Structure 1
Amino acid sequence: MRQSSVRGEGATAQSAGDISGDGAGAVPAPRGGSRRSRRAGGGRGSRRGRRRVLRWVSSALAFLILGTAAAGYLYYRHLNGSIRTDALNLGENKLGGSKPNAFGQTPLNILLIGSDARDDEANQELGGAKDTFGGPPLADVQMLLHLSADRSNMSVVSMPRDTLLMMPKCTEENGKVHPASTRLVQTNQSLSRGGPGCTVAAWTELTKIPIDHFMMIDFKGVVAMADAIGGVPVCVEQNVYSRTREGKGSGLKLPKGTTRIQGEQALQWMRTRYGFEDGTDIGRTHAQHQYMSSLSREFRKNAKLSNPVMLNSLAQAAIKAMVVDPGLNKIDRLYDLSMELKKVPPNRITMSTMPWVYSTREEGRVEPEPGAAEAVFKMVREDVALDGKGSGTPADGASPSPTTPPPAAPTTAPAQAPAKIAVSVVNATNGKDGAQAKVKNRASEIASLMIRKGFTKTSSETTATTGGEDTTVVRFADDAQAADAAAVATALGLPASSVLKSEEVSGITLYVGKDWRTGDAPAPAPPAPTSLPTSAHALNGDNEGACMAIQPGFTW
């Protein structure tokens, strides 16, 4: 733009010289009249000419500036108008936001979803399986990305698509209800229960991690992003060809060593099961981690302001590829998010898999590993770095200081006095597994305790028919009750994560869980681990030597 303006100014100056009669291109003065009058007349004409030229130049420059600005604004509006959105959480339980750290910084949790939807010609061509055309989409890739409060580290936890879970009740924005499942359901079916908002709800129900945003991408989106970045390097330990005798498999065919893949080949890598490790979905998850780690390194190398062509290509590809929640529905919000993610160096990015065990209830499927899976979720909830290196100073490099401004005050109204807060108490001490009987009279015992603490409007629901709870929770019905529910939790020494918004209740209800079968206080929760269990199969984001093992029988 600047070069064009300079060239235009040079051409205009030459024209001004021609009109004024200066230089070799001057127009001869007409015959007759004195030399003085000719000089005087030429001077007036010159001044008039210069004024006309200046007006023309200023008008032209103004037009160019306004035109460029208008074009930029229209392009910005075009990109914003192209962003597709869906509801963030369609479930009943709505957790509050993540707890700020001592410096007022807040973690960020984003659920990344890969959809196998075959809802248009491009996705059908890439996905194959004609018998599934027009069918409900499946969330075949699910990764929770956790950005630490101080932006020093990033953790990614994948859930294998074959994981069996109890699905929560999900209500679409149009009012359609998908009831809670009465049996274990494969986790990738969550997407067909109303969209990505139900996948978020399933993660929230399982992990108790507050999820701030989601990003969902389909087959053609994976292809577009890989092309826009110029390919992603991946590695295999042997030649690999993902194809069975029955014709199953992704069709991925790569030579031993490192290959830069893009386009359809990148999609094949993300979808390969037959040929990697043991031929299960777990091997596919590990391959996805290698790809995502490599992709993040490529972004850091290429997505720079000094490379505007690449940035524009990536921006357009990303917008066309993704569906996001309403909180990410503007270009500037997506840009701000990318800048936050970019603060984390690759050697502080940890890719991991939810610890799992093979299901004894459905062959070939897996379930969260008792104890180990919850340990990983607890590390994320409490903002503990999965690489075991701890947190750093605030991302801007400033040393922590007691003068750092505190987190913003909540927008909800302050809690009422305890005597004005109505609370119902439910006995849920049998736990979700129902392995233990309920403790007799537990609801009335805790109701008496609440009254002694000043919550005089507390009552026990001794006839309530409810499932058990592994941990004690306080549920509330609407935002106006949020502060009062938090006050109940604080009075009992319960963590902030125990306060849940739910459609199951009409008012504030305390569910006394398996962790509080005796005494006047629930059993203190054990501290979060400081390192991942080995079953989480961690991969460091700076590991450029990662290479996929190949399943016997799938080499060439």
Structure 2
Amino acid sequence: MRQGSVGREGAEEDAPQARELGWDDSLYDGDAKSPEDSGADSGPGPGPGPDSEPVPALGSVPAPGTGPEPGSAHTGDAGKGGKGEPPADAAAQQPAKGGPRRMRRIIRWAAAVLSLLILGTAGAGYLYYQHLNGNIRSGERSNGSSGVDKPGANSAGQTPLNILLIGSDSRAKAENVKLGGSRDTADNPPLGDVQMLVHVSADRKNASVVSIPRDTRVEIPECEDAGTGEVFPATDTIINESLARGGPGCTLATWEKLTGVYIDHWMTIDFSGVVKMADAIGDVKVCVKDNIWDRPRPGVPGGSGLKLTAGVHDIKGEQALQWLRTRHAFYSDLGRAKAQHMYLNSMIRELQSQNVFTDAPRLTDLAEAATKSLEVSEEVGTVKKLFDLGMQLKDVPSDRITMSTMPTVVDAQDPNHLVPDEADAGTMWEMLRDDVAFDRNGSASEAAKSGGSGKKTADPVSGDPAAEPAETGVTVRNGTGGEQVAVRGRAADIADVLVGKGYALATAGTQQVPQEKTTVSFPTADLEGDAQAVAKALGIPPTSVKRSTDVSGVTVVVGADWRDGSSYPKAAPPKAGAVPDSAEAINGSDKDACMDVYDKYRW
């Protein structure tokens, strides 16, 4: 827009008029007549009239000494006698003739300027939105077969929200090598060393988080790499390898197969991404009970480099990454998960106290960091969808957030690995499937809902077809011992039940394998459908069907939870807060949590 000087003849001709910008003049010119009624204001825009004066351009001011003399007329009419004295009635005439019309023009000016400001701001906002969208990397939600379907909605039309968070150890970028070391592994496929499932209840009133230690042996389904087309066969190995067998979509399928929980989205982040996010979030309080220095030691290479004195500290950026990576000084992967939970709980409390969703500069910083740091599943691959996702999470109170770790036991095949504790882990998966809160801080009516606020997730179903019962070999073992005396003849009783259902090849094994819960195991993928059919015949839930290299065929182990009867007993659904002690749950409102330090890493 050009600016004119005061008093320049026809200056208003350079000003955009309201109707030229698409505005309706009638919104600002309430007393104007139509061109048919009056010759004034006809045409594309008003020009200088005999009883008006030019409107100065926006931002111009009279220069000293250039304005009208005090007491002189400035209407363009010198009046009678040519001495510049106004006629006697000029004071009365001027407001009536020039005031309303001039005011209309000023309003038009304001409208024009406002229009340009809005257009300019909107344009800048659109460009920034496109910039943020351009930052986002996305991929397939799932590229493996888990047999888990999305749950139905509750009576209010709500469904739970499940998000899988994956921390990648990729050294593919120089920045990650600098932060994480191990330059010699820069070309290796990334491993998912940190994995957490975030479950938000259907009514969005509570949230539950479960971590799985990276060295936990699980069944990884067949997955196809979306980028290369390479197909990875199903295997039984530690869970962090799932990321290298087809990407985050394979890790998601692995979790679904293990838990029976439908997972809506995944998000991954690497070392440099954590630093960017931690810097944008700012200081987060953590606590250690002793001086800590996570450094290399004889026979134990690596270390995060974390070095703190005993007590509470505010950490961010690279130091936050060190905290989240510390493993040896926190005694194990289980300790590392607990430290991560402490950081996340503290971070959530800090963000909620800052009201970041109403603080535009803070929100912009977080949006910039998040879109540069995260890779997400494609169905949330835009800024708007990520923002909508965040809005669903922001109002969950901190005392309704529970962080936990899947209960595990030492792997009998390899003492350096873990396997899920079938009983306690099974309880947690059932709570997630049934949308039951991990905390006890809900209302009495909410706690009384044994089935949670949403409908159950459909039981997983194998894509492998089952053979005819008469052609399926089944071995039944007695696992009713342990803390109680084993029930004599229990394996033979259940084998007879199977024979009566058409499984003529079912036999009772002599080996006793005490365990808390009944399971059905199979050794290879081609027997999964057979195992699920056997479980269905006995009333055993499909989530108790597991692949295992410890068996040579379909094997039923009758656990301590099934000591009598011919049909598997249905357990009472878990209540809110019934998380097993072995999950080491931490409530989000716990500000006193403090980490133990392994004595070899104190200083």
Which range moves more in the overlay, 227-236 or 383-392?
A: 383-392
1:162 partner letter: D
Does the aligned pair in 2 maintain the 1:303–1:311 contact within 8 Å?
no
For residues 165 and 126 of structure 1, the distance between their equivalents in structure 2, rounded to whole angstroms, comes to 29
Residues 494 and 337 of structure 1, relative CA distance in 2, 3 Å threshold: farther
Q: Cα distance, 1:202 vs. partner?
A: 0.8
For residues 46 and 16 of structure 1, the distance between their equivalents in structure 2, rounded to whole angstroms, comes to 20
1:144 partner letter: L
Find the residue that maps to 2:385 and give its secondary structure.
Answer: helix
For residues 432 and 542 of structure 1, the distance between their equivalents in structure 2, rounded to whole angstroms, comes to 47
Match of 1:323 among 372, 375, 378: 375
Larger Rg: 2
1:555 and 2:602 matched: yes
2:279 partner letter: D
For residues 424 and 369 of structure 1, the distance between their equivalents in structure 2, rounded to whole angstroms, comes to 28
Of structures 1 and 2, the one scoring higher in RCO (CA 8 A, sep 6+) is: 1
Residues 361 and 77 of structure 1, relative CA distance in 2, 3 Å threshold: same
Structure-1 residue corresponding to 2:423? 371
Q: Cα distance, 1:539 vs. partner?
A: 0.8
1:64 partner letter: L
Question: Which runs of 5 or more residues in structure 2 are unaligned?
Answer: 1-54, 459-464, 480-490, 504-524, 546-553
Does the aligned pair in 2 maintain the 1:152–1:392 contact within 8 Å?
no
Structure-1 residue corresponding to 2:589? 542
For residues 524 and 20 of structure 1, the distance between their equivalents in structure 2, rounded to whole angstroms, comes to 98
Structure-1 residue corresponding to 2:345? 293
Q: Structure 1, residues 409-457: CA drift from partner, whole Å, max 9, x if none?
A: x9xxxxxxxxxxxx9765468489999899699699579xxxxxxxxxx
Match of 1:172 among 220, 225, 233: 225
Q: Cα distance, 1:144 vs. partner?
A: 0.8
Which range moves more in the overlay, 68-77 or 343-352?
A: 68-77
Find the residue that maps to 1:135 and give its secondary structure.
Answer: coil
1:253 and 2:307 matched: yes
Does the aligned pair in 2 maintain the 1:148–1:154 contact within 8 Å?
yes
Two-structure CA RMSD over aligned residues (Å): 4.5
Structure-2 residue corresponding to 1:455? none
For residues 443 and 27 of structure 1, the distance between their equivalents in structure 2, rounded to whole angstroms, comes to 113
| 1:143-162 alignment runs, 5 A limit | 143-162=196-215
Does the aligned pair in 2 maintain the 1:493–1:521 contact within 8 Å?
no
For residues 123 and 371 of structure 2, the distance between their equivalents in structure 1, rounded to whole angstroms, comes to 21
Structure-1 residue corresponding to 2:176? 123
2:584 partner letter: H
Does the aligned pair in 2 maintain the 1:165–1:185 contact within 8 Å?
yes
TM-score normalised over the length of structure 2: 0.68
Does the aligned pair in 1 maintain the 2:497–2:566 contact within 8 Å?
no
Does the aligned pair in 1 maintain the 2:216–2:420 contact within 8 Å?
yes
TM-score normalised over the length of structure 1: 0.74
Residues 529 and 45 of structure 1, relative CA distance in 2, 3 Å threshold: closer
How high is the sequence identity, in percent, across the aligned residues?
42
1:358 partner letter: V
1:69 and 2:114 matched: no
Residues 86 and 524 of structure 1, relative CA distance in 2, 3 Å threshold: farther
Find the residue that maps to 1:92 and give its secondary structure.
Answer: coil
Structure-2 residue corresponding to 1:454? none
Question: Which runs of 5 or more residues in structure 1 are unaligned?
Answer: 1-9, 395-399, 401-405, 411-422, 448-463, 475-488, 500-511
1:84 and 2:137 matched: yes
Match of 1:332 among 384, 409, 425: 384
Which range moves more in the overlay, 18-27 or 109-118?
A: 18-27
Match of 1:281 among 333, 336, 345: 333
Does the aligned pair in 1 maintain the 2:286–2:346 contact within 8 Å?
yes
Structure-2 residue corresponding to 1:347? 399
Which range moves more in the overlay, 194-203 or 520-529?
A: 520-529
2:309 partner letter: P
Residues 281 and 532 of structure 1, relative CA distance in 2, 3 Å threshold: same
Find the residue that maps to 1:466 and give its secondary structure.
Answer: helix
2:303 partner letter: G
For residues 413 and 164 of structure 2, the distance between their equivalents in structure 1, rounded to whole angstroms, comes to 28
Q: Cα distance, 1:272 vs. partner?
A: 0.4
Structure-2 residue corresponding to 1:413? none
